[in-house]
């Protein structure tokens, strides 16, 4: 007899790594993974808010480990993954959430500015994915956080951001075809729409409200728990037959 379908969304006994875990959607995802039963290793550059996020996970009764990490440094990525394995015994899940955004007209964006965005959003995800995969002995799930801007535009000059997030979808597909059968590691991506984050705090007054009115079919911003629920789904056995896929969580932006 088949078991309870709700069990497919439990992560008991699993260890998850979350990058960009010091604020916003990273914290929402880390705590959601903990509520589902996972122990969580949190990586980000800012030590103090990272420690706060780790305490939020521990308050849910799960083990937490905060590791200062700059994903543009391959050695730091390797250190994060190895530390997770050494301290918590295994690595099952990676949420590649670290990212940066700029809004600079292309004709004024310097090569250095462009490369910085790509280094975090694309190269950093690749480095973390390979580091985590080397530690995943029992299969696993990697979830890359892309953006609806990989699929559409939002009226802002974001060449570096949109290019890096679109490239991340290609990286997701390729890693899925390399690892799903051979290593048992599923690799998927999420394209969030407009969610309240530190990035959206930088938008001009009225921009988000205007986008919600004109482009978001549901007429509102996303809730952090809606993003986090998608992460938990892709991380666990409920998504056991999903790999190389992109899940769009945008309230309908990409079909307007």
Q: Counting beta carbons within 10 angstroms of the beta carbon of residue 23, is it exposed (0 to 12), middle (13 to 18) or buried (19 or more)? A: middle
Q: Counting beta carbons within 10 angstroms of the beta carbon of residue 106, is it exposed (0 to 12), middle (13 to 18) or buried (19 or more)? A: exposed
161 is catalytic: yes
Q: How many Å apart are CA 167 and CA 147, to the nearest integer?
A: 11
Tokens 């200062």 locate to 68
106's CB contacts (< 8 A; 6+ apart) are 157, 159
Residue 246 near residue 189 (C-beta atoms within 8 A): yes
Q: Helix (H, G, I), strand (E, B), or coil: what is residue 248?
A: strand
Residue 191 near residue 144 (C-beta atoms within 8 A): no
Which runs of consecutive H residues, i.e. helices, occur in the chain? 24-35, 47-58, 74-88, 111-118, 124-135, 159-179, 207-214, 224-235
Alpha-carbon distance values, 158 to 54, 66, 147 (Å): 32, 31, 12
What tokens were used for 167? Answer: 């490239």
Q: What is the dihedral of CA 86, 90, 96, 100, to 10 degrees?
A: -20
Question: Active site residue: 161, 203, 207, 241, which one?
Answer: 161
As annotated, the active-site residues are 161
């Amino acid at each position: 007899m088949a078991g309870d379908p709700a069990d497919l969304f439990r992560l008991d006994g699993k260890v998850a790594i979350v990058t960009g875990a010091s604020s916003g959607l990273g914290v929402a995802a880390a705590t959601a993974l903990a509520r589902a039963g996972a122990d969580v290793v949190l990586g980000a550059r800012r030590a103090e808010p990272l420690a706060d996020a780790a305490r939020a996970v521990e308050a849910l009764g799960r083990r937490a480990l905060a590791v200062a990490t700059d994903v543009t440094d391959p050695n730091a990525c390797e250190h994060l993954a190895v530390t997770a394995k050494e301290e918590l015994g295994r690595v099952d899940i990676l949420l590649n959430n670290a990212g940066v955004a700029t809004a600079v007209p292309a004709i004024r964006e310097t090569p250095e500015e462009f490369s910085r965005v790509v280094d975090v959003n694309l190269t950093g995800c690749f480095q973390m994915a390979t580091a985590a995969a080397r530690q995943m002995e029992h299969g696993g799930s990697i979830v890359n956080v892309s953006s609806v801007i990989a699929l559409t535009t939002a009226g802002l000059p974001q060449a570096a951001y949109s290019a890096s997030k679109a490239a991340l979808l290609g990286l997701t597909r390729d890693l899925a075809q390399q690892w799903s059968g051979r290593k048992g590691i599923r690799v998927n991506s999420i394209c969030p729409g407009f969610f309240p984050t530190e990035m959206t705090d930088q938008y001009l007054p009225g921009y988000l409200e205007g986008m919600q009115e004109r482009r978001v079919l549901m007429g509102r911003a996303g809730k952090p728990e809606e993003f986090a629920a998608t992460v938990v789904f892709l991380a666990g056995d409920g998504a056991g037959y999903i790999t190389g896929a992109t899940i769009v969580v945008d309230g309908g932006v990409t079909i307007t």
